[in-house]
């Protein structure tokens, strides 16, 4: 399975826009980022970086959105994120200690 | 569940057994072939075009994966409120990969394949995931009601509260089921009891893995049962513990399973959290509503699942009572057969169906009473199916559990198209399979007329849709804690009068077959001997 990306929790100055099933987060540090949930799994893409393809977000990263009570966590939950399922899939299909991206 | 006296394990020490388990998680030793194939794509194909072609080739070999990928892609092309006639239809996997992106399709198809294997190998996992999602949403709603500042963190802690148990169910499915069966017989199971089977606790391995995976410290902290003190924010700890306990009492496979216990639990936590009992009870509607999107993503029909859990708890209660009563029961098989024989004497007010069933059951009971008669499972099976046929059922199947008890498959049948019926009779004894699977899981007998509310409920079941009966009977064959299989009888045209007496006689009929399997097993000396009978 392709490596999951760690997306930092947006800073308090970030702005959030919802477009249908996509959340666009814009912050001065990281530029624009989009997040979406497909089948309970979370994907992200940076609009300011190439290539702009969707890549899965690590469970540790998703946990951090919730832990810091970020609006991203609320958005993912309402879109049907299935974090525990994603954790099981990731830790079952990636080898050894690299199972889940570390914080 | 109640916690044991005293404190929990030391925070940083793991027993050798727990250490071994923690190391085994994520060993990725048994990946589905699909995942093994697509993992190698990056190594054998250097450019994106070649990788897309290989991924497409791997996906199209799996019909359900292909359908899923196309469905996601087509959902992407539809814009809410847009003109449906302008919608681009995605008809090939290649188009879907181009639209969604290689990495996304690679991940989604691999994840689907991995989770399908987890569900197959570890049937309890999905139910635990559903319970965890409900506990998480309970935590969220409770923190809002209590005015606690971080509801999303409460959601996260509720979600991971039983992580250790989920992982054990996933990686040690047999041991987990063994613990579950033991616990179902206990009146008040306690957190930590699982150590008797596993040599470690869910809490130990859950905390260790949460730390290893970089989960927030509050998640690891609140995995420990709250016992009046907390080494962090006590409100978050109480919210998490309350949500786990209330959800388990409502839906857990191991639960006291009665309304009084749930009310007492809510009263206890209401007092600690300075809320009213009603405020906690009122959260439930929002919990189910907010859990909806995630449960839909997991392909869980909430109504069916909840009904399945209630049936499971009811069946566990009965078995617990039987177990308790059985401890002091000196009744012999001969005595109970004699009593049954008296019940089976002919009655003048019997309907035709009842009289035929009574005769058939009596013959089987008399055969059991004859100690010189050999035990012949084949003969009893034939007699059972014949009795159902004579009682008016047009078709019937004896289903037998696979060796790993994950599926019940048709073995012998009668009636029109019986060969096809036997071939197509495949049920997974799980609530996630549908109402018939739920009934097998909870060992519930079904006598269903496909009219009114039952038509709505059972009409959704895949098996019922396929067989399309006007009425059917499903009788699970349970022996001790195992599901040996089931009897399925149905009728398409004729209506069979289903009196209470007829139902009881059919259950007696089933019991004679189970007794034959039990004697066969005892003489063959193995728990799966029924499969070979």
By CB atoms closer than 10 A (0-12, 13-18, 19+), residue B264 is middle
Q: Which of B106, B152, B170 sits opposite A88 (nearest CB)?
A: B170
- CA B312, CA B346: separation in Å to the nearest integer? 35
Per-residue pLDDT at B523 exceeds 90: no
Judged by a CB distance cut-off of 8 A, whether residue A27 touches chain B is: no
Domain ranges in chain A?
Answer: 15-98
Is the peptide bond between A51 and the residue preceding it cis, with omega within 30 degrees of 0? yes
Name residue B114's beta-bridge partners: none
Judged by DSSP in three states, B449 sits in strand
Assign 3-class secondary structure to B170-217: HHCHHHHHHHHHHHHCCCCCECCCCHHHHCCCHHHHHHHHHHHCCCCH
Does residue A25 surpass a pLDDT of 80?
yes
Burial B479-509 (b: 16+ CB within 10 A, else e): beeebbbbbbbbbeeeebeeeebbbebbebb
Burial of A41 (0-12, 13-18, 19+ CB in 10 A): buried
Across the interface, whether the CB atoms of A67 and B218 are under 8 A apart is answered: yes
| Number of Cβ within a 10 Å radius of residue B459 | 12
Whether the CB of A41 is below 8 Å from some CB of chain B: the reply is: yes
Query: Which pLDDT score is estimated for B278?
Result: 94
pTM over 0.80: no
pLDDT of B328 above 80: no
Q: What is the pLDDT of residues B81-138, one digit of tens each?
A: 445 555 678 889 999 998 898 889 999 998 888 888 888 888 789 999 999 999 999 9
Name which of B149, B27, B330, B76 is nearest A95 in CA terms.
Answer: B27
Model pLDDT, residue B491: 92
Q: Where in chain B is the domain with CATH 1.10.3210.10?
A: 122-316
- A9 lies within 8 A of chain B by CB: no
pLDDT digits (tens, 9 = 90+) for B500-519: 888 889 999 999 999 898 88
Give the B window 133-192 contacts with A, CB below 8 Å. 133, 140, 149-153, 155-156, 159-160, 163, 166-167, 170
pLDDT surpassing 80 at residue B292: yes
Q: Which architecture, in CATH terms, is B122-316?
A: Orthogonal Bundle (1.10)
Give the pLDDT confidence score for residue B83 in this predicted structure. 53
Binding-face residues of B in 70-99 toward A, CB within 8 A? 72, 79-80
The stretches of B252-351 forming alpha helices (DSSP H) are 259-272, 277-281, 283-297, 302-327, 333-343
Q: Where in chain B is the domain with CATH 3.30.450.40?
A: 335-532
Report the CATH number of the B335-532 domain.
3.30.450.40
A20 with B80: Cβ contact below 8 A: yes
């Amino acid at each position: 399975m392709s490596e999951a990306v760690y997306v930092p929790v947006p800073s308090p100055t970030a702005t959030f826009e919802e477009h249908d099933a996509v959340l666009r987060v814009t912050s001065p540090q990281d530029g624009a980022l989009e997040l979406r949930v497909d089948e309970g799994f979370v994907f992200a893409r940076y609009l300011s970086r190439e290539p702009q393809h969707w890549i899965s977000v690590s469970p540790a990263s998703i946990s951090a959105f919730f832990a810091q009570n970020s609006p991203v966590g609320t958005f993912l939950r309402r879109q049907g994120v299935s974090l525990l399922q994603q954790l099981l899939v990731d830790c079952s299909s990636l080898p050894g200690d690299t199972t889940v991206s570390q914080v | 569940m109640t916690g044991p006296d005293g404190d929990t394990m030391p925070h940083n020490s793991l027993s050798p057994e727990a250490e071994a388990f923690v190391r085994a998680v994520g060993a990725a030793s048994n990946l589905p072939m699909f995942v093994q194939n697509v993992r190698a794509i990056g190594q054998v194909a250097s450019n994106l075009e070649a990788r897309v072609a290989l991924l497409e080739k791997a996906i199209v070999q799996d019909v359900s994966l292909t359908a899923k990928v196309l469905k996601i892609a087509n959902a992407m092309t539809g814009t809410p409120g847009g003109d449906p006639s302008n919608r681009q239809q995605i008809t090939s996997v290649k188009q879907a990969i181009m639209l969604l992106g290689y990495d996304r399709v690679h991940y989604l198809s691999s994840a689907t394949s991995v989770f399908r294997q987890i569900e197959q190998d570890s049937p309890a996992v999905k139910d635990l995931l559903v319970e965890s999602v409900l506990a998480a949403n309970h935590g969220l709603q409770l923190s809002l009601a209590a005015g606690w500042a971080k509801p999303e963190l409460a959601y996260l802690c509720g979600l991971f509260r039983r992580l250790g148990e989920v992982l054990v169910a996933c990686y040690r499915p047999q041991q987990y089921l063994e613990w579950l069966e033991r616990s179902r017989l206990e009146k008040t199971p306690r957190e930590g009891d699982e150590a008797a089977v596993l040599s470690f606790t869910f809490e130990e391995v859950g905390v260790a893995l949460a730390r290893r995976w970089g989960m927030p410290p509050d998640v690891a902290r609140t995995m420990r049962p709250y016992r009046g003190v907390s080494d962090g924010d006590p409100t978050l700890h109480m919210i998490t513990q309350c949500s786990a306990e209330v959800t388990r009492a409502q839906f857990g496979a191991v639960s006291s399973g009665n309304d009084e216990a749930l009310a007492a639990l809510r009263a206890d936590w209401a007092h600690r959290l300075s809320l009213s009992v009603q405020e906690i009870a009122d959260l439930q509607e929002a919990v189910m509503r907010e859990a909806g999107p995630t449960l839909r993503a997991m392909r869980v029909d909430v109504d069916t699942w909840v009904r399945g859990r209630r049936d499971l708890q009811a069946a566990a209660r009965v078995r617990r009572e039987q177990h308790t009563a059985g401890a002091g029961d000196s009744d012999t098989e001969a005595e109970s057969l004699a009593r049954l024989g008296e019940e089976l004497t002919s009655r003048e007010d019997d309907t035709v169906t009842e009289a035929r069933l009574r005769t058939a059951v009596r013959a089987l009971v008399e055969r059991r009473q004859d100690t010189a008669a050999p035990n012949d499972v084949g003969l009893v099976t034939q007699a059972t199916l014949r009795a159902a046929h004579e009682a008016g059922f047009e078709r019937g199947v004896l289903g037998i559990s696979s060796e790993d008890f994950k599926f019940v498959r048709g073995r012998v049948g009668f009636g029109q198209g019986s060969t096809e019926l036997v071939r197509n009779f495949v049920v997974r004894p799980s609530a996630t399979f549908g109402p018939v699977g739920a009934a097998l899981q909870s060992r519930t007998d079904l006598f269903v007329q496909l009219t009114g509310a039952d038509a709505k409920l059972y009409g959704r079941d895949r098996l019922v849709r396929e067989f399309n009966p006007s009425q059917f009977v499903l009788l699970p064959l349970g022996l001790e804690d195992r599901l040996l299989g089931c009897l399925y009888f149905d009728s398409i045209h004729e209506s069979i009068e289903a009196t209470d007496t007829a139902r009881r006689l059919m259950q007696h009929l089933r019991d004679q077959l189970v007794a034959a399997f039990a004697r066969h097993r005892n003489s063959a000396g193995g728990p799966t001997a029924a499969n070979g009978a």
